[in-house]
Structure 1
Amino acid sequence: REIQRGYLGVGLQPIDEDFAASLGLPKRRGELVQTVQDDSPAARAGLKPGDIVTKVNGKDVTGEQTVSFLVANMEPGAQVPVELLRDGKRLALNVTLGKRPSEAELQQQTQTFDPDSEEPMAPGASNETIEQKLGLQVMPMTAAIARSLGVPAETQGVVIAAVDPNADAARKGLRRGDIVLSANYQAVASVEALAEQVKAAATEGREAILLRVQRRTQPPAFFPIRLR
């Protein structure tokens, strides 16, 4: 049977000498919360970036006994007391642990997305239909990418990762970081959904597809993109 490991949903950093000096704390004690995943067990319990976790389930957090180690050795669904320092005050929160996601899911949650970096097309890195027909490489929207783009975490769509400079999409001004919300008036909340619409348009003999695209926090706009 698969071992189920507990999960908090925080990004942590050990308290080294410099952190300890800046916070007036003993070093090698506790871990600083750098990030809290949206809708994670930690977020639901009220943990915030800047909190210093000092104890989990009554055990001291140290360099050897990290928060991740303590939490991973408990079952999902367990109610765990977490002691922390916030603005110099001691707090105790009860956290109901979640189930640790797979490594691939964790990587997707923490991936950062720089919309301004010049990423060339990497052949075969994305959906083949979308790549061939539209000259676009797209990726699923995640809460981390939404944060990078400054849009709400619940935004539904697919994110353009790269544009073929020879494609009509490039001529129409589409670029990395744009969010495709719909294709031919059908919402596309996944890469597969966009690929289905592209296939349907090609099967019907259409020469172009109408994409509704949002750029950062600007209002969405419609773009007719020619199929190749």
Structure 2
Amino acid sequence: MQQKNRPRIKRNRLLAGVVAAGVAGTALAGGMLANTLPVFADPVHVDAPQQSFGFADVVSKVSPAVVSVRVTEDVKTAADDGEDQMQNPFDNLPKDHPLRRFFDMPGMQGAKPHGRQLPRHAIAQGSGFFISDDGYLVTNNHVVDGGSKFTVVMDDGKEYDAKLVGTDKRTDLALLKVNATHKFTYVAWGDDSKVRVGDWVVAVGNPFGLGGTVTAGIVSARGRDIGAGPYDDFLQIDAAVNRGNSGGPDFNLEGQVIGINTAIFSPSGGNVGIAFAIPASVAQGVIQSLKEHGSVQRGWLGVQIAPVTDDIAEAVGLAESKGAIVTLPDNETPASKAGIKTGDVITAVDGQTVATPRELARSIGDDRPGTTVNITVWRDGQAKNIPVKLGNLASLDESASVSSKNGAVPTNPSSLSGYGLTVTPSEDGNGVVVTDIDPDSTAAEKGMQPGDVIVAVNGKAVTDQKEVREALRDAAKSGRKAALFQLRQGDQNRFVALPLNKG
């Protein structure tokens, strides 16, 4: 054993000798080596609490307040051939509906009726939760949409009939009411503004109709925009959320509702760890309005808007690319009556800055119809305040679609040299039509295409190539680096900023 240890001892003595020599050399060098060693900051360190962790206490308290929502929908016809198939209510959503690419409405595959037609009923299931002891409960709009009868199933199996108080498609929320002689266990709203990415979240719901099921995870992200509408501000969570969890609550560790499950992202239709929840702060106001009025009252400005890009900001003389540019004020709307014009950049509402079109939409929607708000716009190189009396968004026909007009290609085109565009006056005399475009030009990179009508350049209406060039020269004289083209395609307006004197 001693012989085996000798080499190690020798290596240690040798290392000690080298270290000693190094120290001596450092001393002889007057400590210069020590002075040149880099100094590093301390690494990240977190003092984690030492505790035995579980969710059982939270679950035992909140579970009696979480319910399954069974929805019966009348189906016009079904085959009498004995096949037990039902139509899926989700199939009736428009093809471009944002929720089609996410989830819910777990109905059967659609049957192909033949033979004698009989009335049938489709049944869908979701989740919900009580928010008061007198029987008000929250779920998703897409859970109850099209339903004729609503049944609430408690965690102990008891069933109650419920009536629909109101729905809000824009936030996918609905309010039901159960009438009973006894009081219900209910849960409170939490403050989702205090929720941080990485915080624990507990989801309780009715996946696949199995009944009360609990899953847990963390908040993966905040402020998610999934393209469902201007009020998108979802919490993203990784707790296992599946079909049937729609309308179910997400709890913090204090048993408060911080979110309501509304959608999942999944190529397969099942849980892949990406679920989206409506924040409690959004839901509270909507649910209160449904309870008081049966609908949600939102302010309405009446403009089509687009983001302000860096190029657009440069073209109109804004210091920052913030705000929402008005692509078209709709006819006979509060905005058009107040004097807001195409090309105005809305930068603030009642003195509060709006950085994006979504912020503008939410700010206006938070105000009640009939309220007069002060809209700050950037026009002709300066800020201007315009008071606007808001209309009622609920009065709009949301199913109205914008028609597309495709006219014949005008004749006598001429080149707009330096920009890669070939244009000709439009048939109605309003603007010039782009008939051809160089695919390698900046205009093409910015999305301009044949058929676009150039209505104005830097806010000046144009009717021919000459007026376009005059507007470009005026922009250059004013020191601008880009020119703002207002384009029309059918009934839609948009803005594109092109660098001056570049193709």
* TM-score, normalised with respect to structure 1: 0.46
Which of these two proteins has the greater Rg computed from alpha carbons? 2
Q: Which has the higher contact order (CA 8 A, sep 6+)?
A: 1
* TM-score, normalised with respect to structure 2: 0.22
